[in-house]
Amino acid sequence: MKKFLSVIHIAIIALLLSACGGESKTSSASFEAELIPLKYAENLTLLKGEGYIEARLRNPWDTTAILRTYILVDKDQEMPEQLPTGTIVRTPLQKSLVYTATHCNLIHELGAVESIGGICEIQYIKVPEIIEGCKNGTIVNAGEGTNPDIEKIIDLHPDALLLSPYENSGGHGQVEKLKIPIIECADYMETSALGSAEWIRFYGLLFGREAWADSIFASVEKNYNELKGMATSQPVKPRLVCELKSGSAWYVSGGRSTTGKLYADAGADYAFASYPNSGGVPLSFETVFDKAQDADVWLMKYNHPTDKTYQSLREDYAPYANFKAFKDKNVYGCNTAYTKYYEDFPFHPDKVLKDLIKIFHPSLLPGYELKYFSKLAE
Domain shared by 175 and 279, yes or no: no
In percent, the amount of the chain with pLDDT more than 90 equals 84
Question: pLDDT category, 169, cuts 50, 70, 90?
Answer: low
261, 348 contact by CB (below 8 A): no
Question: pLDDT category, 2, cuts 50, 70, 90?
Answer: very low
pLDDT digits (tens, 9 = 90+) for 256-294: 889 999 999 999 999 999 999 878 899 999 999 999 999
Query: What value does the mean pLDDT take over residues 158-175?
Result: 86
In percent, the amount of the chain with pLDDT more than 70 equals 91
Spatial distance between the Cα atoms of 46 and 24, rounded to a whole number of angstroms: 17
Query: What value does the mean pLDDT take over residues 343-354?
Result: 97
Spatial distance between the Cα atoms of 325 and 294, rounded to a whole number of angstroms: 7
38, 44 contact by CB (below 8 A): yes
pLDDT digits (tens, 9 = 90+) for 173-222: 889 899 899 999 999 989 899 999 999 999 999 999 999 999 999 999 99
Domain shared by 213 and 98, yes or no: yes
Domain shared by 84 and 156, yes or no: yes
Q: Name the domain count of the chain.
A: 2
Query: Is 193 a member of any domain?
Result: yes
* pLDDT at residue number 212: 98
**Considering the entire predicted model, what is its pTM?**
0.88
- Averaged pLDDT of the chain: 91
Spatial distance between the Cα atoms of 333 and 302, rounded to a whole number of angstroms: 8
pLDDT digits (tens, 9 = 90+) for 324-339: 999 999 999 999 999 9
Q: Domain of 290?
A: 234-375
* pLDDT at residue number 59: 94
Q: Which of 165, 183, 218 is the last residue of a domain?
A: 218
> Is it true that the peptide bond before 92 is cis, omega within 30 degrees of 0?
yes
Query: Is 224 a member of any domain?
Result: no
Question: pLDDT category, 6, cuts 50, 70, 90?
Answer: very low
Query: What value does the mean pLDDT take over residues 299-307?
Result: 96
* pLDDT at residue number 76: 95
The domain that holds 282 is classified in CATH as 3.40.50.1980
Give helix 101-109 / helix 128-136 axis angle, nearest 10°: 110
Given a cut of 50, whether residue 28 has pLDDT beyond it is no
Domain shared by 199 and 268, yes or no: no
* Among candidate residues 261, 218, 219, the one with its CA nearest the CA of residue 240: 261
Domain shared by 209 and 260, yes or no: no
Domain shared by 176 and 248, yes or no: no
Domain shared by 272 and 313, yes or no: yes
Domain shared by 208 and 244, yes or no: no
Given a cut of 70, whether residue 27 has pLDDT beyond it is no
203, 214 contact by CB (below 8 A): no
